[in-house]
Amino acid sequence: MIRLILPALLCAVSVGASRVDADESIDFQADVHPILSAHCLDCHGQEEQEAGLRLDDRASLLRVGERGSRILVPGKPKESLLIQAVRGDQADFRMPPQGRPLTDAQIVTLSRWIQQGADWPGQMELDGDSVTTDHWSFQPPNLVPPPHAPDSITNPIDRFVLARLAEHGMKLAMPADSVTLIRRVSLVLTGLPPSPQRVAQIAGSESFDDEYIRFVDQLLDSPGYGERWAQHWLDVIRWAETVGFETNLARPNAWPYRDWVIGSLNEDKPYDQFVFEQIAGDTVGQDAALGFLVAGPANLPGQIGRDEEAMRQARQDELDEVIRTVSQALFGLTVGCARCHNHKFDPILQRDYYSMQAIFAGLTYGDRRWRGEENDRWNAKLPEARKKVHSAVALVQSLQQKHHLLPPVTDLQTESFEAVEATAVRMTIDATNTNAAASLYELQAWSAASETAESRNVALASAAAQPSASSFALANQTRHFDNLVDGSSDRRQAFPWVATNAGPAWIQVDFADAVTIDRIVWDRGSSVPVDYKIEVQATAGKWISVADTTRRMPRVDDVRPAENVSIDGLSADAVREIVDANGQLRAAQAELSRLSAGPQVYAARFDESPAQTWLLRRGDPMQRTQQLEPAIPLVLGKMEYRRKQDEKARRLALARHLTDPRHPLTARVAVNRVWQHHFGRGLVDSPSDFGKMGSPPSHPLLLDWLAKDFAGNGWSLKRLHRMIVTSMTFRQSSRPQADCIAVDADTRLLWRFPPRRLEAEGIRDSILFVSGKLNRKMGGPGFDLFRQRGGLSDYTPIETFDENGWRRMIYAHKIRMQAVDIFGAFDCPDAGQMKPKRTRSVTPIQSLSLMNSPFVYRQAEFFADRIKQEHGDDVKAQIDAAYQFAYSRSPRPAELKAVLPLVNEYGLQQLCRVLFNTSEFLYIQ
């Protein structure tokens, strides 16, 4: 506990009046530091800390004093004991206790500095003993009963919305007409328009309300619901099927996570379980769910430098992606902003960032076993696969013994021979196991041991050895033959020599002096030499062969055809028999390895013994300051975790913390996301930032009530959807009202249903739906929108699709950092960044694409053909059907009059193209 005795802080002040005007920002160096430096630091600085207090240390000021108050509360000068003391609010507690007090101007300067957040350059990485805040989102949700309303208004949502409208003298708009409402709810819940038959059935019903509710249930129970709402979630976490960054290569096994999200939503998996499985799915057999943790971009191992700093930095970047995904998606805080210093706006310490990072210290990116029915089927095949391998091994061994062949070469091969005095060694490589260019990490020559000297590698640059080679690859300097003698074959930090091209190659090492050697050791590089000769140069200059592969059994992974393999003393038929046997063993081993590994999914993997997590000064991975244990941000309390528990316990503790119904953020963030995609904007308009820089809620009491109701009633998303879409608020008309626009032009108070354009996926899917070509196949690897699945260039869009390419757009192979042809113009995100809220632009490119693209042109043909097949040659009937499919209504007389000449002169297909390109087709009204 720190005693607040400040005789030096506030003694006689010689600093003049503040230079700061009332509306200017306070600068610490110019405005605050002179006061502290001139009058405080002699007694409360680095050399002396009277009463244990340092005024050159922000952390010290953040602590609680013996009077039970914090000395400095950023943003709240009235609650800061420092300001209370200098003003002399209490007679027995005034600083300085003797002499002149601070001037009014100086007190204003200190007060306004605290009001503006008490920014302190160079101090943003320091800790306080505790973190508190009165920001609304960190407080537990209030379960305030819905406001009073007439008995006819039974939906709690309406009661809250009506109360807010009444504060501004407004009320809800009239209900939307039945056709508009049917179309609206279908597009919102499934991303597809309703069929004309279903519209007619519901709109014409005498009990419309009952039919509407049944229709809502049908939509929520349809596969299209999960497909529609899964895309919203994938936007939030910027999920994609490529790695991003410099290579952007494909992640072939990423798609199961997308299917897991769709399936979880369709089965109405409770949201707390949905969250739990994405953090700790491996503990409950839900491996695909762990794709959530590695949804973001990450460098491949080959993209990471081999030095320690580069590897540490890459690891920090990997974990940073995880922290940002978890914090922004699940509890709406930008914890990632505290990577280098304390969060500038929110009560998140830098220590919080690294403590949270420790929860995921065992995580790695990559493929993992995907348990389930397919995995069980593969396991059942293992005994037979092992038998095949055993038989194949026995055959290969018998052939080696039959022909008295030496063992195959190994990855680290030693060739021993009679000691010989030599000045150089040369290795001629005629073939490699994969027919790739010759490659080695190291070529070593070992001196013969004697009574007076130990054996040593004389083929080292440090021993003045000089390497040379027939060629070296020009990919970068690390392929040079100098790497053969650098003494390092650590794959993390060293590079091999690689020849320029496949085919014969040679390497040579000349020694500084003649030396007696008795063995050569080579370490494979990117390929394995399997046909080679090793020679040493005697002191007389003659080259002597000391090793070759002429009588060795070929390696199992040697893929050369039999006609390219030569073994001394064996006929071509005998060689072919050996090559065939190796091929059988290779295939059997590959099948056993495949079955043993099981089906694979791109998802987080975990090391049972995670590395220690360090607090890093300014986020620099080379400046470790102190070790940290796994923890959640201090402002959110503590999670139940004991030191030295296993790796899973860390994630289990976090999952349980986040799914606690008392958590102030999890349920709020979830219901806000659902609300956002019903009305176009969330009650909080910054859906992944509930911090200080986020938007305040437009209906705070409603948000809290929804959060409490959601968590208290089984975390059911479908129940929440039903409540929203059956409310009067959702069912009202979207027509504008001049008097309401004058008060609330952005419709934040919901005096009407806010119309908006469909997302890109909804547009494409709706076009396919009305053309009759939508393929409803679910799950599995996606279709391609481009002629390649990864990389950074040459993305040629596919213009003509087959049936597989007519699946819903969520099943398209998602390429990071690549805009989708046509539909990219409709703000379809490229997964380069999290996109919890899409932009909705209006550009000429959109109209040009919808009118002229080969995809839309072809679908317009299909649309016209469908109508003709179902409605014959009656042009008016065709037009009516086109409107029913596209707009869920018949054409108005003026519309029919306008389009008849178009159809008669240019054909029905042209009308279909026009309908695709209209606001009524593209907008949720």
Mean pLDDT by 10 residues, the chain (925 residues): 30 37 74 74 67 67 67 85 81 72 86 86 61 89 89 95 96 97 98 97 93 98 98 98 93 98 98 98 97 94 83 95 98 95 90 96 96 96 98 98 98 97 98 97 96 94 97 83 91 87 97 96 97 96 96 97 96 98 98 97 96 94 94 93 89 97 97 98 98 95 97 97 98 96 96 97 98 97 94 89 96 95 92 94 92 94 96 95 97 96 96 96 97
SS3 state of residue 529: strand
**Token pair listed for 699:** 């209906």
**For position 2, what pLDDT does the model report?**
29
**For position 532, what pLDDT does the model report?**
98
What is the phi-psi region of residue 631: left when phi exceeds 0, alpha when psi lies from -120 to 50, beta otherwise? beta
| DSSP labels, 160-215 | HHHHHHHHTT--PPPBPPHHHHHHHHHHHHHSSPPPHHHHHHHHT-SSHHHHHHHH
Burial zone of 794 (CB within 10 Å; 0-12 exposed, 13-18 middle, 19+ buried)? exposed
**Token pair listed for 175:** 């209900």
What is d(CA 815, CA 664) in angstroms, rounded to the nearest whole number?
35
What is d(CA 580, CA 339) in angstroms, rounded to the nearest whole number?
57
**For position 8, what pLDDT does the model report?**
32
Q: What phi, psi does 744 have (nearest 5°)? A: -145, 75
Burial zone of 15 (CB within 10 Å; 0-12 exposed, 13-18 middle, 19+ buried)? middle
Task: For the chain, give the number of residues.
Answer: 925
Contact 447, 536 (CB under 8 A): no
Residue type for 868, please? K
CA dihedral 408, 412, 415, 416 (to 10 degrees): -120
Contact 440, 524 (CB under 8 A): yes
Q: Which residue has the tokens 């899409």?
A: 838
Angle between helix axes 647-658 and 308-331 (nearest 10 degrees) is 30
What is d(CA 4, CA 64) in angstroms, rounded to the nearest whole number?
10
Give the CA angle between residues 358, 363, 365 to the nearest 5°: 145
> Taking the mean position of all CA atoms in its chain, how far away is CA 494?
30
Helices (H) and strands (E) in the chain, counts: 30, 15
Q: Which residue has the tokens 């139940």?
A: 640
SS3 state of residue 249: coil
Q: What phi, psi does 416 have (nearest 5°)? A: -100, 150
As a whole number of Å, the end-to-end CA separation of the chain is: 61
DSSP H or E segment with residue 591: helix 572-597
Three-state SS letters, 60-78 = HHHCEECCCCECCCCCCHH
Burial zone of 516 (CB within 10 Å; 0-12 exposed, 13-18 middle, 19+ buried)? middle
Q: What phi, psi does 61 have (nearest 5°)? A: -70, -25
Angle between helix axes 717-725 and 666-679 (nearest 10 degrees) is 40
**For position 3, what pLDDT does the model report?**
30
**Token pair listed for 754:** 């806010």
Contact 598, 378 (CB under 8 A): yes
SS3 state of residue 418: strand
Report pTM: 0.84
Q: What phi, psi does 250 have (nearest 5°)? A: -70, 150
Contact 469, 486 (CB under 8 A): no
Contact 566, 406 (CB under 8 A): no
Contact 243, 252 (CB under 8 A): no
SS3 state of residue 841: coil
Query: Which one-letter DSSP state was computed for residue 481?
Result: G
What is the phi-psi region of residue 817: left when phi exceeds 0, alpha when psi lies from -120 to 50, beta otherwise? left
Angle between helix axes 223-236 and 666-679 (nearest 10 degrees) is 120
What is the phi-psi region of residue 765: left when phi exceeds 0, alpha when psi lies from -120 to 50, beta otherwise? alpha
**Token pair listed for 767:** 């076009």
What is d(CA 35, CA 83) in angstroms, rounded to the nearest whole number?
14
What is d(CA 829, CA 490) in angstroms, rounded to the nearest whole number?
40
